[in-house]
Amino acid sequence: MKEALNLIWFKRDLRWQDHAPLKLAIADGLPLLGLFIFEDFNSQDPSWSLRHWQAQYHSLVDMQATNKEAFNGILVLEGDSHEIFSEIAEHCVIKGIYSYQETGEDLSYQRDKKLTKLFTEKGILWKELEQNAVQRGRRNRAAWDENWRNFMSQDLDKPNLPAWQYCRPSVKSHLKSKFGISTLLQKRLKNWPTNFQKIGESAAQFRLEDYLTHKIYRNYGAHIGMPHESRSNCSRLSPFFAWGNLSIRQVYQRSIRELENSPFPRDLRAFISRLHWHSHFVQKFEMEESMEFENLNPAFDSLQKETKPALVQAWQNGQTGYPLIDACMRAVKETGYLNFRMRAVLVSFLCHQLWQNWQEGASFLAQQFLDYIPGIHYPQFQMQSGCTGINTIRIYNPVKQSLEKDPEAKFISEWLPELRELPLAFKHQPWMMTAMEQSFYNFELGRDYPHRIVDIYESGAYARDVLWAFRKSAWVRNENQKILVKHTTAIRDPQQRSKKIMQP
- What mean pLDDT is predicted for residues 462-481? 93
Q: How confident is the model at residue 492 (pLDDT cuts 50, 70, 90)?
A: low
CA angle 41, 44, 47 (to 5 degrees): 105
pLDDT at 499: 58
From the list 107, 83, 105, 3, the residue with the least C-alpha distance to 35 is: 83
Percent of all residues in the chain with a pLDDT value above 70, rounded to a whole number: 97
Q: What are the distances in angstroms from CA 1 to CA 83, 92, 173? A: 22, 9, 17
pLDDT tops 90 at residue 294:
yes
Q: Convert the pLDDT of each residue in 316-373 to its tens digit.
A: 999 999 999 999 999 999 999 999 999 999 999 999 999 999 999 999 999 999 999 9
- What mean pLDDT is predicted for residues 93-120? 97
pLDDT at 121: 97
Burial class (CB in 10 A: 0-12, 13-18, 19+), 150: exposed
Q: How confident is the model at residue 314 (pLDDT cuts 50, 70, 90)?
A: very high
Compute the chain's Rg from CA coordinates. 24
Q: How confident is the model at residue 254 (pLDDT cuts 50, 70, 90)?
A: very high
pLDDT tops 60 at residue 42:
yes
- What mean pLDDT is predicted for residues 170-197? 95
pLDDT at 503: 59
Give the three-state DSSP class for 14.
coil
The per-residue DSSP string of 213-240 comes to: HTTGGGGHHHHTT-TTTHHHHS---HHH
- What mean pLDDT is predicted for residues 150-160? 98
pLDDT tops 80 at residue 469:
yes
pLDDT at 243: 98
Rounded CA-CA distance 438/449 in Å is 11
pLDDT at 489: 74
Angle at which helix 201-213 crosses helix 50-66, to 10 degrees, equals: 90
Angle at which helix 340-348 crosses helix 398-405, to 10 degrees, equals: 160
Phi, psi of 102 (to 5 degrees): -120, 125
- What mean pLDDT is predicted for residues 47-52? 97
Q: 125 has which bridge partners?
A: 96
Q: What is the pTM of this model?
A: 0.95
pLDDT at 43: 87
pLDDT at 269: 97
Q: Which residue has the higher pLDDT, 359 or 495?
A: 359
| Strand positions, DSSP E, 56-107 | 74-79, 92-100
pLDDT at 1: 82
pLDDT tops 80 at residue 34:
yes
Q: Spell out the domains of the chain, with CATH numbers in brackets.
A: 1-287 (3.40.50.620), 298-486 (1.10.579.10)
pLDDT at 328: 98
Return all residues near 80 (Cβ < 8 A) that are at least 6 apart. Answer: 39, 40, 41
CB atoms within 10 A of CB 482: 14
Distance of CA 33 to the CA centre of its chain: 28
pLDDT tops 90 at residue 491:
no
Distance of CA 488 to the CA centre of its chain: 22
Return all residues near 318 (Cβ < 8 A) that are at least 6 apart. Answer: 325, 326, 327, 328, 329, 330, 333, 415
Rounded-to-10 torsion of CA 241, 245, 249, 251: -80
pLDDT at 498: 54
Q: How confident is the model at residue 289 (pLDDT cuts 50, 70, 90)?
A: confident
pLDDT tops 70 at residue 490:
no
pLDDT at 501: 60
pLDDT at 502: 59
Distance of CA 214 to the CA centre of its chain: 26
- What mean pLDDT is predicted for residues 422-448? 97
What end-to-end distance do the CA atoms of the chain give, in Å? 51
pLDDT at 496: 56
What is the pLDDT of the chain when averaged over all its residues? 95
Residue 386 identity (one-letter amino acid) = G
Rounded CA-CA distance 444/452 in Å is 13
Return all residues near 472 (Cβ < 8 A) that are at least 6 apart. Answer: none
